[in-house]
Structure 1
Amino acid sequence: MRKTRPLPGSLIQRYHGWKATTFAENAAWYRRLGTEGQRPRVMVISCCDSRVHVTSIFGAEQGEFFIHRNIANLVPPYEPDGLRHGTSAAIEYAVTSLKVAQIIILGHSQCGGVQGCEAMCSGHAPELEDPASFVGRWMDLLRPGWEEVRGIADERERLEALEKRAVLTSIDNLMTFPFVAAAVDRGDLALHGLWNDIVEGTLEYYDAATDRFISI
């Protein structure tokens, strides 16, 4: 027997509240989404941090964004090795099936994954060095980025720089996917790197011409 349990009453109550209000007021839109399928023009790869509310930041409705979330909004390099790659599969589906026109990598401040990478790479999180650590092996993707920023003395500045390196690492790795590179070269797909300050509510974008993040 599978060890599942019923939902807590608080979540059931919140569901009924949503069904009676938001869903009831937009029933025709939900019916259209259900019968016509999704046609998002934008894919967003963001951190799974509960404080990052992607649709709220952009005022998006259901059906507008194809969203994939993982620790530290990282994209691995293209590795067709027959193993299971959730992020890579989501990118392939978004680009080749949904034909999205834009992919946004959305990083953020106070990122726990980035802090874990900093701790691991500086020798303060030996548990993440364990070969069996899923988090540690995932954050190995950002180890080269840490090497680039490790000389920054101020901790907060160093972590923010590493958060932004995570965004750029993902942008660079996206271009190792042949179908992504081909779509970008054709002009069918645009890539964007963003960083959100949770405390201030600000948003910065990466400007390739100046190689820096600029406030929007």
Structure 2
Amino acid sequence: MHSFPKELLSGHANFLAGRYLREKERLRDLASAGQSPTTMIIACCDSRAAPEMIFDAGPGELFVLRNVANLVPTYQPDGGQHGTSAAIEFAVKALNIGNIVVMGHGRCGGIKAALDPHFKSLDDGDFIGKWMSMLGELPSQLGQNSLLTSTERQTAMERISIRNSIRNLRTFPYVAELEAEGTLQVHGAWFDISTAELWIMDHDGDFIRPEL
């Protein structure tokens, strides 16, 4: 007997009967030859904003890292355990990734918590609060702007956070070096869950709708 979620088993059965049959040879090739994706996506864990769905990507095409609010810390080789930094290191140094996309999304719970001055920890560990603290004073500075509605404030913070994560990403020496050489490109993107619109960051840091 087991208590494994029935909906997951049902989904796996559908996968075996459908997509697996269509992509069986590709999966076998990936298993024997290894992965060689060209793009890393740093996205939020939010179940509504899956990169593979948004970009209609198949197996082996994207190297995806998901964490709360798609944050990137600064480069900290201090002997600690850094899951996000480890994934970045592997993508850049082992997989020779050519693109890194930091992708935020609308209605992000982590960003909402960071903007809420009355946010209460969900647990004594306060892992969410400590994680979101890497945004520093940015949420409180934005919160002081009374001209913005709460929705406008949240969208602005989601996009500011993407720029902040990109700035932190560039503190990784090998990221900065490869970007300067032109062999690695760093991008920002923001996905609207309700409309499925994708906004990308231009060279000035503004978010625009790309032509598809």
Give TM class, smaller chain.
over 0.9
Query: Do the aligned residues in 1 keep the contact of 2:37 with 2:60 (CA within 8 Å)?
Result: yes
Determine the C-alpha separation between the residues in 2 that align with 1:53 and 1:190.
22
After TM superposition, the structure 1 stretch with the greater mean CA deviation from structure 2, 110-119 or 139-148, is 139-148
Determine the C-alpha separation between the residues in 1 that align with 2:36 and 2:173.
23
Alignment of 1:1-216 (within 5 A): 5-119=2-116, 122=117, 124-127=118-121, 132-153=125-146, 154-209=149-204, 211-216=205-210
The aligned amino acid for 2:121 is E
Runs of 4+ in 1 over 6 A off after TM superposition: none
Determine the C-alpha separation between the residues in 1 that align with 2:66 and 2:142.
25
Alignment RMSD (CA, Å):
1.7
Query: Do the aligned residues in 1 keep the contact of 2:115 with 2:140 (CA within 8 Å)?
Result: no
Query: Do the aligned residues in 2 keep the contact of 1:43 with 1:103 (CA within 8 Å)?
Result: yes
Determine the C-alpha separation between the residues in 1 that align with 2:61 and 2:144.
41
**Displacement after TM superposition at 1:144 (Å):** 2.6
Unaligned runs of 5+ residues in structure 1 are none
Residue correspondences, number: 208
Determine the C-alpha separation between the residues in 2 that align with 1:206 and 1:148.
22
Determine the C-alpha separation between the residues in 1 that align with 2:209 and 2:197.
7
The aligned amino acid for 2:25 is A
Determine the C-alpha separation between the residues in 1 that align with 2:13 and 2:196.
30
After TM superposition, the structure 1 stretch with the greater mean CA deviation from structure 2, 18-27 or 72-81, is 18-27
Unaligned runs of 5+ residues in structure 2 are none
Determine the C-alpha separation between the residues in 1 that align with 2:206 and 2:70.
19
The aligned amino acid for 2:50 is H
Query: Do the aligned residues in 2 keep the contact of 1:43 with 1:104 (CA within 8 Å)?
Result: yes
The superposition leaves residues 137-167 of structure 1 with CA deviations (integer Å, 9 ceiling, x where unpaired) of 0000123321342233311111111101110
The superposition leaves residues 94-115 of structure 1 with CA deviations (integer Å, 9 ceiling, x where unpaired) of 0011000000000000000000
Q: Secondary structure at the match of 2:137?
A: helix
Q: Secondary structure at the match of 2:66?
A: strand
Determine the C-alpha separation between the residues in 1 that align with 2:49 and 2:182.
29
The aligned amino acid for 1:134 is F
